[in-house]
């Protein structure tokens, strides 16, 4: 399906933005240069008749994105958390996309749920309500389990949502390939790989069994986090297209007036939501990757309640350490170390000058540290860092896309609660704690202990593996009768490894 016919889809995107009046608003919000504005309008204007009209009762940006489909709605959800980037007016408009989209009929939802769970809705639930929230992929109903009387949230996918996403993603693939052909300089950004990453994330979100599993794992990881709670999953009332969870009762995090009326400290909430995200990403390597205001509430006791676990991020331990060192280097203003980390991780080609890269990073960091607290932005840092790494030949790291995007979203949530929040000051204790715990002398001993445990598990096979490797290496030079010596060497190597393993394990357990 990723053929030239997608040109029509892309033309309709521009035409829809122009027809609904969203083109000018978006260009203005992003402060596009006059030439860019004029060019975009000139290209889109003749094709207005191809654009989708959308719902004329909605604000122009919301009208355009909802008409274009779920992938565009996801994009709008991200922008809604960044009033510092798109302005308060556009951010307020786009916030509707988080959980206030037009719902599909309740009878359709009942049919979908009954088909998926194998029995009528009324046999499972009492007080099955009309939709209480409707987003780009699914909508939620409040109900009470007939058997236990517990109040729950029942989430059901929109009918035909899989096909709608497939259409959008196909158009994105086509656009990515056109960029690679027409703009060779952009190939280092690996646009096709980026879309493939996005596709994997989205398709996982369309299986609610995976979301239930994600919620369960995330709950286990965060069980001891003060001021943070997750609703529990009811597995027997969940399936691929339906998921049932305990009801999360609280004030929406996007409603500042309601938070103030309930007596919640918004500055404290802003600090906690940012520190929780960093803790989950660095400590666990598993984080909520869709932490906009529509997926967060504040309980009566001040706890942050998170839900909607369709998009979760995972980063391995090595990448976490690299990410932490980069953040810590910027926090400490140690640009030489930030440069070295990029080279050590292979992010920047080895033939580039590390000193020149460090100076370029200083040009990124120093202006940000000179800003007023209300203007310090992780989003700005990532934007400037992108420009610098482009000049030094760094390729797009697809494994960091979700982490970087979520960092921007969470920063937007925190800043909407407390416009004066100092991102660096809030992040510093979390990053420093991770550095001390995971990268100091004790961490080195612990890593050696883990290595020893792995060696001990492979101990019985180690002599044979070493002997086989040495035989393959020596085969062209050594005659057959002499091939017995690697066996003795292998046993010697195994003995040394076993002794080292035992010693390291003993140190690690001290």
Model pLDDT for residues 123-158, shown as the tens digit of each residue: 999 999 999 988 878 899 999 999 999 999 999 999
The reported pLDDT for the residue numbered 496 is: 34
Instruction: Tell me the average pLDDT of the chain.
Output: 79
**DSSP state letters, 159-172:** TTHHHHHHHHHHHH
pLDDT tens for each residue of 430-440: 988 888 887 76
pLDDT tens for each residue of 223-256: 999 999 999 999 999 999 999 999 999 999 989 9
Residue 170 lies inside a defined structural domain of this protein: no
What percent of the chain clears pLDDT 90, i.e. is strictly above it?
A: 29
Judge whether 335 and 358 are in contact, CB under 8 Å: yes
Specify whether 258 is located in the same domain as 323: yes
Average confidence (pLDDT) over 94-112:
84
The reported pLDDT for the residue numbered 48 is: 77
Annotation marks residue 290 as catalytic:
yes
H or E stretch at 422: none
Strand, coil or helix: what is 443? helix
Task: Check residues 150 and 23 and name the one with the higher pLDDT.
Answer: 150
Distance of CA 407 to the CA centre of its chain: 8
Tokens of 33: 């240069």
pLDDT over threshold 50, residue 503: no
**DSSP state letters, 352-389:** S-HHHHHHHHHHHHHHHHTS-GGG--HHHHHHHHHHHH
Residue 225 lies inside a defined structural domain of this protein: no
Q: What is the DSSP letter of 189?
A: G
57: buried, middle or exposed (CB in 10 Å: 19+, 13-18, 0-12)? Answer: exposed
Specify whether 435 is located in the same domain as 448: no
pLDDT over threshold 60, residue 489: no
Specify whether 481 is located in the same domain as 339: no
Give the residue from 98, 121, 144 where a domain finishes.
98
Tokens 């196909």 -> residue: 170
The reported pLDDT for the residue numbered 476 is: 58
Specify whether 363 is located in the same domain as 309: yes
Specify whether 371 is located in the same domain as 486: no
204-226 as b/e: b if 16+ CB within 10 A: ebbbbebbbbbbeebbebbeebe
Judge whether 377 and 368 are in contact, CB under 8 Å: yes
Task: Check residues 353 and 381 and name the one with the higher pLDDT.
Answer: 353
2-30 as b/e: b if 16+ CB within 10 A: eeeebeebebbbbbbbbbbebbebbbebe
pLDDT over threshold 70, residue 425: yes
Indicate which residue of 84, 168, 290, 418 is catalytic. Answer: 290
Beta strand extents in 295-423 (DSSP E only) = 296-298, 304-306, 312-314
Task: Please give the span between the terminal C-alpha atoms of the chain, in angstroms, as a whole number.
Answer: 60
The reported pLDDT for the residue numbered 302 is: 94
Most confident of 157-171, 302-316, 402-416: 302-316
Residue 29 lies inside a defined structural domain of this protein: yes
Residue 203 lies inside a defined structural domain of this protein: no
Average confidence (pLDDT) over 108-120:
94
Give the residue from 439, 461, 494 where a domain finishes.
439
* C-alpha–C-alpha distance, residues 218 and 235, integer Å: 15
Domain ranges, residue 465: 442-508
pLDDT tens for each residue of 196-232: 777 777 777 789 999 999 999 999 999 999 999 999 9
Average confidence (pLDDT) over 448-475:
72
Specify whether 343 is located in the same domain as 451: no
Least reliable range by pLDDT among 89-103, 239-253, 482-496: 482-496
Q: In the structure, what pLDDT confidence band is assigned to residue 188 with cuts at 50, 70 and 90? A: low
Q: What is the DSSP letter of 255?
A: -
Judge whether 338 and 358 are in contact, CB under 8 Å: yes
* C-alpha–C-alpha distance, residues 248 and 263, integer Å: 19
Neighbouring residues of 388: CB distance < 8 A, sequence distance ≥ 6: 357, 360, 361, 363, 364
The reported pLDDT for the residue numbered 486 is: 42
Does the pTM surpass 0.75? The reply is: no
Judge whether 194 and 396 are in contact, CB under 8 Å: yes
Residue 236 lies inside a defined structural domain of this protein: no
Most confident of 32-36, 76-80, 153-157, 352-356: 153-157
pLDDT over threshold 80, residue 374: no
Residue 133 lies inside a defined structural domain of this protein: no
The reported pLDDT for the residue numbered 22 is: 79
Helix axis angle, 423-439 to 398-417, nearest 10°: 140
Specify whether 400 is located in the same domain as 491: no
The reported pLDDT for the residue numbered 418 is: 92
Q: In the structure, what pLDDT confidence band is assigned to residue 187 with cuts at 50, 70 and 90? A: low
pLDDT over threshold 80, residue 319: yes
pLDDT over threshold 90, residue 122: yes
Number of domains the chain contains: 3
The CA dihedral of 361, 363, 364, 368, to the nearest 10 degrees, is 140
Residue 253 lies inside a defined structural domain of this protein: yes
Specify whether 400 is located in the same domain as 452: no
What percent of the chain clears pLDDT 70, i.e. is strictly above it?
A: 75
Q: In the structure, what pLDDT confidence band is assigned to residue 365 with cuts at 50, 70 and 90? A: confident
Q: In the structure, what pLDDT confidence band is assigned to residue 397 with cuts at 50, 70 and 90? A: low
Specify whether 364 is located in the same domain as 497: no
The reported pLDDT for the residue numbered 247 is: 94
Tokens 């609610």 -> residue: 208
Specify whether 413 is located in the same domain as 456: no
Tokens 């992108």 -> residue: 386
Least reliable range by pLDDT among 5-9, 41-45, 302-306, 370-374: 370-374
The reported pLDDT for the residue numbered 510 is: 35
The reported pLDDT for the residue numbered 303 is: 95
pLDDT over threshold 80, residue 31: no
Most confident of 48-52, 196-200, 351-355: 351-355
73-93 as b/e: b if 16+ CB within 10 A: bbebbbbbbbbbbbbeebbeb
3-state SS record for 87-142: CHHHHHHHCHHHHECCCCCHHHHHHHHHHHHCCCHHHHEECCCCEEEECCCEEEEE
401: buried, middle or exposed (CB in 10 Å: 19+, 13-18, 0-12)? Answer: middle
Specify whether 474 is located in the same domain as 329: no
Strand-strand pairing, 228-229 and 304-306: parallel
Average confidence (pLDDT) over 275-294:
90
> How far, in Å, are 2, 51, 156, 167, 192 from residue 6 at the CA level?
7, 14, 29, 9, 15
Average confidence (pLDDT) over 478-492:
43
Average confidence (pLDDT) over 356-379:
76
pLDDT tens for each residue of 375-395: 666 666 666 676 677 778 776
Cα Rg of the chain, angstroms: 27
Give the residue from 424, 439, 454 where a domain finishes.
439
pLDDT tens for each residue of 73-87: 877 776 676 665 677
pLDDT tens for each residue of 338-350: 899 888 888 888 8
The reported pLDDT for the residue numbered 112 is: 94
Judge whether 454 and 504 are in contact, CB under 8 Å: no
Distance of CA 236 to the CA centre of its chain: 28
Specify whether 282 is located in the same domain as 419: yes
Average confidence (pLDDT) over 454-474:
73
Judge whether 351 and 431 are in contact, CB under 8 Å: no
Average confidence (pLDDT) over 48-53:
80
Residue 221 lies inside a defined structural domain of this protein: no
């Amino acid at each position: 399906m990723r053929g030239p016919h997608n040109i029509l889809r892309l033309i309709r995107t521009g035409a829809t933005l122009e027809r609904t009046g969203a083109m000018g608003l978006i260009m203005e919000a992003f402060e596009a240069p006059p030439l860019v504005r004029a060019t975009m309008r000139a290209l889109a204007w003749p094709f207005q008749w191809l654009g989708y009209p959308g719902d004329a009762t909605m604000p122009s940006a919301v009208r355009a994105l909802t008409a274009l489909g779920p992938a565009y709605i996801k994009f709008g959800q991200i922008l809604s958390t960044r009033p510092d980037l798109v302005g308060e007016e556009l951010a307020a408009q786009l916030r509707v996309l988080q959980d206030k989209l037009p719902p599909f009929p309740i009878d359709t939802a009942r049919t979908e749920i009954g088909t998926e769970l194998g029995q009528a809705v009324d046999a499972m639930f009492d007080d099955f309500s009309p939709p209480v929230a409707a987003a780009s992929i699914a909508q939620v109903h409040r109900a009470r389990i007939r058997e236990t009387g517990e109040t729950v949230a029942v989430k059901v996918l929109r009918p035909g949502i899989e096909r709608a996403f497939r259409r959008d993603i196909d158009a994105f693939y086509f656009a990515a390939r056109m960029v690679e052909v027409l703009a060779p300089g952009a190939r280092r950004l690996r646009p096709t790989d980026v879309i493939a990453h996005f596709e994997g994330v989205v398709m996982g979100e369309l299986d609610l069994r995976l979301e239930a599993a994600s919620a369960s794992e995330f709950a286990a990881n965060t069980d001891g986090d003060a001021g943070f709670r997750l609703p529990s999953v009811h597995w027997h009332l969940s399936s691929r297209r339906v998921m049932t969870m305990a009801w999360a009762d609280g004030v929406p995090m996007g409603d500042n007036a309601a938070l103030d009326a309930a007596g919640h400290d918004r500055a404290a909430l802003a600090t906690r939501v940012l520190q929780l995200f960093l803790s989950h990403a660095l400590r666990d390597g598993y984080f909520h990757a869709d932490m906009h205001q529509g997926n967060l509430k504040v309980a009566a006791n001040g706890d942050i309640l998170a839900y909607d676990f369709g998009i979760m991020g995972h980063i391995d331990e090595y990448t976490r350490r690299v990410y932490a060192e980069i953040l810590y280097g910027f926090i400490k203003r140690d640009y030489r170390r930030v440069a070295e980390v990029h080279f050590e991780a292979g992010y920047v080609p080895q033939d580039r000058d590390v000193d020149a890269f460090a100076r370029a990073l200083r040009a990124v960091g120093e202006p940000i540290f000179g800003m007023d607290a209300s203007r310090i932005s992780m989003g700005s840092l990532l934007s400037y860092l992108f420009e610098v790494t482009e000049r030094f030949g760094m390729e797009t790291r697809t494994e960091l896309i979700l982490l970087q995007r979520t960092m921007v979203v969470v920063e937007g949530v925190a800043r909407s609660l407390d416009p004066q929040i100092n991102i660096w000051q809030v992040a510093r204790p979390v990053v420093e704690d991770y550095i001390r715990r995971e990268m100091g002398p004790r961490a080195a001993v612990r890593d050696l202990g883990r290595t020893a445990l792995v060696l001990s598990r492979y101990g019985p096979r180690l002599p044979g593996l070493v002997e086989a490797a040495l035989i393959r290496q020596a085969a062209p030079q050594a005659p057959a009768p002499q091939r017995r010596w690697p066996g003795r060497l292998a046993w010697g190597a195994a003995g040394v490894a076993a002794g080292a393993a035992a010693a390291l394990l003993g140190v690690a357990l001290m």
